[in-house]
Amino acid sequence: VSAATPKVADYPFTTLYPNLGVVSVEPYRSFVIADIPGIIEGAAEGAGLGSLFLRHVQRTRVLLHLVDMAPFDEAIDPVYQVRAIENELRMYDPGMLAKPRWLVLNKGDLLSDEERQARAEEIVKALDWKEPWFVTSALSREGTWPIMLKIQQFFDDQKRDALEAAEEAAARAEMARNA
């Protein structure tokens, strides 16, 4: 989704450090996205490079849980993967679970339309997921651009809300000075 060129390969944990990339939605509307490598169980206690990765996660404003909805290994449970990441976030810094978190179910291209929808709904229901969720295919980029647009809108809304709050505070301060 960005111009970043992280090292990728067909084995887990290819990426050894977070990769940053700029997503340009249109002129003068962009944001930085951080590709944080997979966080393993025990990361909060320093397993692997977990604490390094979790420090980067702390600096984000919205978290995207990218989970394979059609894993190659049938023993891998996407619901368990999300719960494990949530647990690591909680153990490292409970405040991270208060951040907006969106679920991105990847590898949707490996399932038929009917299977994809049923599987996505099954995962969302099992997680009792209340935040936005999306189905994508990173390989074909199907579904990725709408997420980028929603992220940009999220940041635009945050900026607008902060500006409005600052203007209200300034107006209250001016009224207090004039009283």
- pLDDT of residue 57 exceeding 80, the answer is no
- Report the candidate in 177, 76, 57, 173 with the shortest Cα–Cα distance to residue 123: 76
Reading the block at residue 149, the tokens are 């647009």
- pLDDT of residue 50 exceeding 80, the answer is no
pTM of the model: 0.80
Higher pLDDT, 145 or 91: 145
Mean pLDDT over the full length of the chain: 84
Please give the angle made by the CA atoms of 160, 166 and 168, to the nearest 5 degrees.
100
- pLDDT of residue 43 exceeding 60, the answer is no
Q: Where does 25-143 have alpha helices with state H?
A: 50-58, 78-92, 113-127
User: Is-contact 43 53, C-beta < 8 A?
Assistant: yes
Reading the block at residue 31, the tokens are 């944001």
Q: Exposed/middle/buried for 77, CB within 10 Å: 0-12, 13-18, 19+? A: middle
- Report the candidate in 146, 62, 136, 142 with the shortest Cα–Cα distance to residue 102: 62
- pLDDT of residue 13 exceeding 90, the answer is no
User: Is-contact 90 43, C-beta < 8 A?
Assistant: no
Q: Which residue has the tokens 């891998």?
A: 76
Q: Residue 20: pLDDT band by 50, 70, 90 thresholds?
A: confident
